[in-house]
Amino acid sequence: MMGHAGILPDAKRYSDEVEAILLEARRLSRSLRMGEHGRRTAGAGSDFWQFRKFENGLDSPRLINWKQSAKSDGLFVRETEWSAPQTLSIMVDRSADNFIDHPKSKAYLNALIALTLGYLYSDASEKVRIDCSEFLQMDRPKDQAEIAETLMHPNNQAWQVPTADDIPQNSKALLVSSFFNDVERLSEDIAEYAERGVTGCLLQVLTKDEITFPFSGRVKFANASGSTVFQSDQARALRAEYLEKLQQQKQQLQSIAAACDWTVLSVSIEQDPREILGLCIEQLGMR
C-alpha cells in the first residue's frame, strides 16, 4: 500500500493542475466580449449595470473606473449588462486517447474550452451544466474544482453522451470530441436531442498529426495504453487514403448536424483557445 509520502506529492500536483486551469479559464472568460446576451447581469452590453471591485490578476488595469474608485476605498470596474437567458449543457469526451501528449493533449484544451464557456455563461447568471458522469453546475463554486478535476482525468470507458431526457428542452448543447468512434450512435443521440428542441454544436478537436498525417517510412500506431494498433512499413502511401476517410468523416458529421439544425466546428489543438472560443460562441448563437 502506498504511504502518505507517495500520496501527498500526487495530491499536491493534482491540486495545482486544477487551480491552474481554473485560473486560466477565468482569465480567458474575462478577455472575451460576448455582446448583448443573457439576463440583467454583468456583460458587454450598452446599459450600465453595476460597479464591482477590481480583481488583481483577472481584470486588466485599463478597465478600472477611476472616478468611482476615487469615491471609495479600493479600485472598481464598471460593468454593463447582457440580455436574454440561455441554458447550456457541455459534454466532453474523456476517453483515454484524448490524454496523449502531442506535445500537449486534447484533454487540456477540451477542459479549458468547457470551463471558460462555463464561466462566461454563469457570469451572465445563466445555467451551465457540464457532464461529469452527472451534470454539475458552473455557478456553484463548490462544483468548479470537481468539474476541472474530472475533465482532466480520463474515463476508462468508451464515451457515451447523456440521454436526451437528461438535457433540458429548448436549450443549447456543446459536444466536444474527435468524433472518430460510432458516428451512427451519435446520429441517433443528436436526433433525440433535436426532438426535445435542443440545438447546439459539435466541436471536433484534432491534433496536427490527425489533420495532416505527416508520417513516412516504418511507423507503429499505438493507442493510449501503448499497445500497437497498426504497423506500416510505408506510412506515406497511406496518407491519401487516410485524408480521404477523414474528409468523409467530417462530411458525415456535417450531415448529422444539418439534419437536426446543429452546426459543426473542426479545430486543431494548435489554434489559439480564444479563437476557438469565439467560434463556439458564434455557433451557439451568442454575439
Task: Report if residue 22 sits inside a domain.
Answer: no
- Of 48-62, 170-184, 247-261, the one with minimum mean pLDDT is 48-62
Q: Is the pLDDT of residue 92 over 50?
A: yes
Residues 159 and 116 in one domain: yes
Residues 61 and 167 in one domain: no
Q: What is the pTM of this model?
A: 0.76
Residues 118 and 139 in one domain: yes
The pLDDT, as a whole number, for residue 226 is 53
Task: Report if residue 116 sits inside a domain.
Answer: yes
The pLDDT, as a whole number, for residue 63 is 79
3-state secondary structure of 146: helix
The pLDDT, as a whole number, for residue 4 is 43
Burial of 147 (0-12, 13-18, 19+ CB in 10 A): buried
Q: Identify whether 154 is preceded by a cis peptide bond (ω within 30 of 0).
A: no
The pLDDT, as a whole number, for residue 36 is 42
Q: What's the CATH number where 112 sits?
A: 3.40.50.410
Task: Report if residue 11 sits inside a domain.
Answer: no
Residues 134 and 246 in one domain: yes
Task: Report if residue 26 sits inside a domain.
Answer: no
Q: Specify the length of the chain in residues.
A: 287
Residues 69 and 97 in one domain: no
Task: Report if residue 178 sits inside a domain.
Answer: yes
Domain, as residue range, for 50:
41-82
Burial of 22 (0-12, 13-18, 19+ CB in 10 A): buried
Residues 217 and 267 in one domain: yes
User: What's the number of domains the chain is made of?
Assistant: 2
The pLDDT, as a whole number, for residue 286 is 56
Residues 97 and 206 in one domain: yes
Task: Report if residue 197 sits inside a domain.
Answer: yes
Task: Report if residue 9 sits inside a domain.
Answer: no
Task: Report if residue 112 sits inside a domain.
Answer: yes
Q: Write out pLDDT tens, residues 27-58.
A: 999 888 554 444 444 444 445 556 778 887 77
3-state secondary structure of 75: coil
Residues 74 and 102 in one domain: no
Q: State how far the Cα of 171 lies from the Cα of 35, in Å rounded to an integer.
A: 20
Residues 189 and 216 in one domain: yes
Residues 66 and 121 in one domain: no
| Mean per-residue pLDDT, 218-227 | 55
